[in-house]
Amino acid sequence: MGREDSGAAAAARPPGAWRDNARPGQHDQRRRQPVSQRIGLIGVGLMGHGIASNLLKHGHALAVLEHAGNQPLDALQAAGAATQRSARALAAGSEVVILCVTGSPQVEAVLQGADGVLAGLRAGTVVIDCSTAIPRSTERMAQAVHAAGGRFLDAPMTRTPKEAAEGRLNLLVGGDAALFDACRPLLACFAENITHVGPVGAGHRMKLLHNYVSLGFIALLSEAAACAQRGGVAAEAFVEVLAKGGGGSVALERLKPYLLHRDASSLRFAMSNAQKDLSYYHTMAADSGAVAGIADAVLRTYTQGVA
């Protein structure tokens, strides 16, 4: 065999694997180069755009699905991204398909639609769902992907569009441990902290738990801040006392620019998405028989905010 991989070796290589081009004896001197994968991305919104940019920076061949909800694609196309008009065509040309859409209805539609991903899925293709979804839906979609000959990971993300652009997302991954290990180098192209949290569906369960706690903190702090303002407590004092006491948190740091200066630039998570995620948490809690009294109140707060 020559220095380049044979066709059989390339076909057998798992997603995110590494090609070692070093001659014998050079393994300690030369850095291994990542294999370029053919990636299809569905959902180029605020988060998906950052994911796409970083996949291109790491040398992957990227195609994205054309959609009215995408962020502008000019910069991605200038960097080499191709576009496809159907999810079926996108899947047919991809080794890995990444979903970054709003929620379970969108995931189900883009996978199972007449011109969807499953209609074009090739045997062995990996579907990685970075959306936020209801776990029982995730488990059904994973079964559908497997039935079509593919493999599946749920890998929802935390952090903001800023970290997405910087390639510093957190990923909470559910799925087969061996597949997770194989895909980890690919995920590391756009994520800083990558945690395998369990089998299929566990990633989305952990994401909903995370967002419930995070959004619950935000709701509690916002309500307290409004009460403080009505009572004449200075915003500076409110923030300082909480930060130095039991109220210090990531949520407070995120709210602080707005509380002190009415700077909302760090608050880019839409209220409608927050309400959606909390409704998903409520569904998950009901499915598992968990107590959700506080969750009811938090969901009601965000529902009123969206109304």
Residue 95 and residue 126 in contact, taking contact as beta carbons nearer than 8 Å: yes
Task: Count CB atoms within 10 A of the CB of residue 146.
Answer: 13
The phi, psi pair for 61, rounded to 5°, reads: -85, 120
Residue 149 and residue 170 in contact, taking contact as beta carbons nearer than 8 Å: no
Counting every residue written for the chain, the total comes to 307
> What pLDDT is recorded for position 267?
84
Cα angle at 99 between 214 and 250, to 5 degrees?
A: 15
Task: Clarify whether 207 is annotated catalytic.
Answer: yes
> What pLDDT is recorded for position 282?
96
Residue 209 and residue 215 in contact, taking contact as beta carbons nearer than 8 Å: no
**Options 162, 207, 244, 256, the catalytic residue:** 207
Count Cα atoms within 13 angstroms, Cβ side, for 120: 22
> What pLDDT is recorded for position 34?
55
> What pLDDT is recorded for position 303?
96
The phi, psi pair for 127, rounded to 5°, reads: -105, 125
Query: Looking at domain 206-306, which CATH architecture does it have?
Result: Orthogonal Bundle (1.10)
pLDDT in tens, the chain (307 residues): 333 333 333 344 455 443 333 344 433 433 344 578 999 999 999 999 999 999 999 999 999 999 999 999 999 999 999 999 999 999 999 999 999 999 999 999 999 999 999 999 999 999 999 999 999 999 999 999 999 999 999 999 999 999 999 999 999 999 999 999 999 999 999 999 999 999 999 999 999 999 999 999 999 999 999 999 999 999 999 999 999 999 999 999 999 999 999 999 888 888 999 999 999 999 999 999 999 999 999 999 999 999 8
Rounded Cα distance between 120 and 127, Å, is: 12
7-199 CATH, one of 3.30.70.270, 2.60.420.10, 3.40.50.720, 3.40.140.10: 3.40.50.720
> What pLDDT is recorded for position 88?
99
Each domain of the chain, given as residue ranges in start order, spans 7-199, 206-306
> What pLDDT is recorded for position 290?
97
